[in-house]
Amino acid sequence: MSAPASRGNDAAITAAALRSDRFRIEREADWQRLEEILGRMEKGRIARLSDADLLDLPVLYRTVASSLSVARETSLDAATLGYLESLVQRAWFLVYGPRSSLGGWLWRFFGGEWSRSVRAIWPEILVALSLMAAGTVVGWLLCASDSQWYYSLVPGQFLDARQPGASREVLLGTLFGNQSQPHLSVMSAYLFNNNAGVAITCFALGFAFGVPPLLLLIQTTTTLGSMLWLYHGQGLTVDMIGWLSVHGTTELFAILLAGAAGLHVGRSMAFPGELSVLDAAAKAGQRASVVMAGVLIMLAVAGLLEGFARQLIDNTPGRLVVGYGMLALWLGYFTLLRRVPPSSEAE
């Protein structure tokens, strides 16, 4: 390498070093103050922080984040970049990261956040409830007009002995006398997966402006109406309702909430108001996701009731007590628990 070229490279390196030093000197005081505050917070000494420190924390975070952006744009030395990246990551976690343990989240969730989110989507719940009732009536009427509709509306796993023309004794056998049925826990897991799939699909399709959840809610309940029609024909309507109610009050309530959550997102996208479509969807999706977290809990409970209680309780009055007792429990929780935890966001 020639001497002039060597001197040129040395000059460039020197200039870069001076630029990096100047950059650090001009901003290092803010970096050090932020690092000091973070160090005390990470050691659990938040109580010792002054009001000024707490107020300056987000400002210092944004200042250091800006310094990192400039450092990347101007290709400063690797040591400065590494230091700033580490400092920004630590600050982000403390400023914006999770502030509570799992226990704290559960306390807020069950202590009012879930019930508040459900109450917030009550218009969609009413629409979804109307659709589910309509689907049940449509399933019944279609089968009453032509029994061949039953085979189209009822899934294949229910087409064992439960078919048009089955005797009263055969249908009774599907409702009672199954206490010794093996592998109840396996059935419970299967039913939870199946029902969760229906609920999640209802919610996920809400992003198509809410239309698919409407159709899915109707489709799901036409099966219910068809089976009620079948058992009604043999005078077993109350027994069938009891058989369904053990788990059905919880399961159908969960599907109702999932469908309403999907409708809520779809309605917000179709009618965003003053917000953009993306902002409206994000806001509605945040609330709906809380509802869906609770829906999965309800479906887990429904799976246990369906896999165990329905078989172990072998009489209609007992099944009705359990089923409608669960319904009263859910309704009481959603309507009476109105306390909003202090750390929850205001609506």
Query: What would the pLDDT profile of 221-250 be if each residue is shown by its tens digit?
Result: 898 899 999 999 999 999 999 988 998 899
Please tell me the predicted confidence (pLDDT) of residue 26.
76
Q: Considering the domain boundaries, does residue 343 fall inside one? A: no
Please check whether residues 85 and 231 belong to one and the same domain: no
**Non-local CB neighbours of 141 within 8 Å, separated by 6+ positions:** 225
Please check whether residues 171 and 30 belong to one and the same domain: no
Give yes or no for a contact between 172 and 183, defined as CB atoms under 8 angstroms apart. Answer: no
Q: Tokens 């002995």 correspond to what residue?
A: 161
Please check whether residues 55 and 135 belong to one and the same domain: no
Q: Considering the domain boundaries, does residue 290 fall inside one? A: yes
End-of-domain residue from the set 96, 125, 145: 96
Among the residue ranges 6-10, 40-44, 111-115, 161-165, the one predicted with the least confidence is 6-10
Please check whether residues 202 and 114 belong to one and the same domain: yes
Please tell me the predicted confidence (pLDDT) of residue 36.
85
Q: Which helix (H) or strand (E) holds 72?
A: helix 51-73
Residue 66 has pLDDT above 90, yes or no: no
Domain extent at residue 24: 3-96
Q: Considering the domain boundaries, does residue 346 fall inside one? A: no
Task: Share the mean pLDDT of the chain.
Answer: 79
Calpha distance 104→343 (Å, rounded): 10
Of 268, 254, 228, 37, give the one whose Cα is nearest residue 128: 254
- Banded pLDDT at 76 (limits 50, 70, 90): low
Residue 19 has pLDDT above 70, yes or no: no
Please check whether residues 204 and 304 belong to one and the same domain: yes
For the entire predicted model, the pTM comes to 0.67
Calpha distance 347→158 (Å, rounded): 44
- Banded pLDDT at 139 (limits 50, 70, 90): very high
Question: Would you call 231 helix, strand, or coil by DSSP?
Answer: helix
Please check whether residues 308 and 163 belong to one and the same domain: yes
Q: Give the pair of three-digit tokens for residue 269.
A: 């996208």
Please check whether residues 226 and 295 belong to one and the same domain: yes
Most confident of the ranges 10-14, 73-77, 255-259: 255-259
Of 118, 105, 120, 101, give the one whose Cα is nearest residue 341: 105
Please check whether residues 22 and 119 belong to one and the same domain: no
Neighbour count for residue 54 (Cβ, 10 Å): 12
